[in-house]
Amino acid sequence: MHYIDKKLEELYATQADRTAPDDLDAFWEATLAEYDAKPLNDRREKVRTEAPYIDAYEVTYNGFDATPIKGWYLLPGFPAKQDKLPCVISFHGYTGSRGIPEQHAAWLLAGFAVFAVDVRGQGGETGNLLPQHYGMTRGWITQGILEPQKSYYRAVAVDALKALEWASLQPEVDASQIVVCGESQGGGLALLTGALSGKPAKIIADIPNLCYMDYGLFHSTGSLKEAADFVAAHPDKLEQVLRTFSYFDMVNLADRLRAPVLMSVGLKDTVCTPETIFAVYNRIQTEKALKVFPFNGHFTSRDHIRTRIRFIREDHFRL
């Protein structure tokens, strides 16, 4: 057995302990009940792009609070094969944004609608009205980190769930064929929304975060380092931080996933380390597939878009 096979054997055997608090289900039931009826206050306006075969709309909607969340709603600007289209909801990586309409062209060429949304406060055009109750380290994830009810993660989770709601209401979209998709932070949000909502037909979580977060807090060189820096400055707050994370950690929520899941992992990733991703993948009980990139860090390969498209199209997907 060569080293890579041995490494994979160890990773497929990874079993992380659940850290779920006793009120995990009650927390999410109350959150979903609180925001289910919250109005979207949405607006959809057609905009011009540099691509004549993209019908683009700028969208704003309200998610967790009064923050206007920005998104691109994109449709193929050529005759579709069906009246209603499958829709890919795209969540971006940490510090990123929804980008520009043209960068989502591969999905459109494959015949899908796209709803690409900003994550509040980061690199896009969306602000963040979430109150700050305690000092933060640089970045966003330590906002409200001492209480799950006030956590930044709770706000972005609700924002993502309301994006699902918005997409399902669009006349061009087949609401039974909505796919949540993203890389890194976006992959974590895809898993989280899939665990909390029955709307997604499929879930694509590439090199995702929100996995085995107590391990990531100690090892990650990515966004969780912000939380590690917070604990370094406030060592007496470690247990509070870990408790907050436990409400959003997919180790504790993986058993809620019902839709088919495609995940990917880079074995040299120091941001979302393979141990964290395998810990969640090994807990998923629904149909699943994992694309392993043995020599990748925190990135997938350029042809991975083909794998994602096949996963959406095929009833019974196999790598």
- Give the tens place of pLDDT for each residue, 57-81: 999 999 999 999 999 999 999 877 7
pLDDT-based confidence at residue 310 (cuts at 50, 70, 90): very high
Q: What's the CATH code of the domain at 28?
A: 3.40.50.1820
Q: Which residue has the tokens 């100690």?
A: 218
Whether 306 maps to a domain, the answer reads no
- Residue 316, pLDDT score: 84
Whether 84 maps to a domain, the answer reads yes
Domain count, the chain: 1
pLDDT by residue (tens digit) across 111-139? 999 999 999 999 999 999 999 999 999 99
- Please indicate, yes or no, whether the overall pTM of this predicted structure exceeds 0.75: yes
User: Measured between alpha carbons, how far is 158 from 181 in angstroms, rounded to an integer?
Assistant: 16
Per the DSSP assignment, residues forming a β-bridge with 291 are 264
Given the residues 206, 220, 269, 304, select the one marked as catalytic: 269
Instruction: Confirm if 227 and 241 have CB atoms less than 8 A apart.
Output: yes
Whether 193 maps to a domain, the answer reads yes
Given the residues 151, 184, 220, 264, select the one marked as catalytic: 184
298 is catalytic: yes
- By DSSP bridging, strand 288-293 and strand 113-117 are unpaired
- Residue 31, pLDDT score: 98
Q: Which domain holds residue 98?
A: 3-298
Which of 107, 126, 151, 10 is closest to 67 using CA atoms? 126
Whether 316 maps to a domain, the answer reads no
Whether 98 maps to a domain, the answer reads yes
Across the beta sheet with 173-183, the strand order is 43-47, 54-62, 68-76, 113-117, 85-91, 173-183, 200-206, 261-266, 288-293
Whether 318 maps to a domain, the answer reads no
Average the pLDDT over 84-101 and give the result: 98
Whether 307 maps to a domain, the answer reads no
Whether 166 maps to a domain, the answer reads yes
Element (H, E) at 195: helix 185-196
